[in-house]
A and B are shown apart, each in its own frame.
Chain A
Amino acid sequence: AQKVTQAQTEISVVEKEDVTLDCVYETRDTTYYLFWYKQPPSGELVFLIRRNSFDEQNEISGRYSWNFQKSTSSFNFTITASQVVDSAVYFCALSEARDSSYKLIFGSGTRLLVRP
């Protein structure tokens, strides 16, 4: 069965610290997609990244970077030099290709608090 685990419920860091949010997934499908979303206090979901299972290249986008490791079924997200505006709940999600609807299964989320 498909499952996404975000073991870190809450993380608190001081501004400018680096922080890594962990995501471990389970799937029997060989083709799948992994996502990270940010949910600020306003509630809307902000898309951060989408990665397919055949692309294990790590990605960097500004202060954000993602480490995809199929061997450990992990898709971790690192924020470098964190800022107060990064405070939000971050969700990792999985979508399986064999499910034609491509519905997203979300992890439980990690609440990140960046203190000034």
Chain B
Amino acid sequence: GAVVSQHPSWVICKSGTSVKIECRSLDFQATTMFWYRQFPKQSLMLMATSNEGSKATYEQGVEKDKFLINHASLTLSTLTVTSAHPEDSSFYICSARVGGSGPNEKLFFGSGTQLSVL
């Protein structure tokens, strides 16, 4: 089956530094990728929708300048948390969409990245 690789699995960084998280579709081309954020014992909240070659669409309340998303190719999307602060500590998970619309559409999730900002 389709595989979405997300790296790193966990990262600890100092406050004020930037962290990049990669999401790769290993055996398919993903025209659309999604980035979610999950706080402990809470649901996944969609942060942004990323389409290859175009600017990401951010959900309301998500800071575009803080969470930079780049989808430069059909197999790679990156999320950069800029000037990270402790409140950015969370579990970030990406998903990639493959196929057309309707019954052919499938979503695959990465394994997530636990970010801890000290």
Contact = CB atoms under 8 A, between A and B. Distances in A.
B73 interface: no
B49 A103 contact: yes
Contacts, number: 60
Given A43-B111, A106-B44, A101 B101 contact: no
Nearest to B32: A101
Chain A interface size, under 10 / 10 to 19 / 20 to 34 / 35 or more: 20 to 34
A101 B51 CA distance: 9
B105 interface: yes
A104 B46 contact: yes
A109 B45 CA distance: 12
B91 interface: yes
Contacts of A30: none
Interface in A86-106: 91, 97, 100-106
B33 to A, nearest CB: 10
Nearest to A55: B103
B107 interface: yes
Interface in A21-68: 33, 35, 37, 42-45, 47, 50, 52
Interface of A: 33, 35, 37, 42-45, 47, 50, 52, 91, 97, 100-109, 111
Contacts of B43: 91, 106-109
- Interface of chain A, main secondary structure: loop
A35 B107 CA distance: 10
Contacts of A47: 107-109
Contacts of A45: 44, 93, 95, 109, 112
Contacts of B106: 50
Select the residue from B36, B41, B44, B114 with max chain A CB neighbours within 10 A.
Answer: B44
B102 interface: yes
Contact of B105 (A102, A107, A111): A102
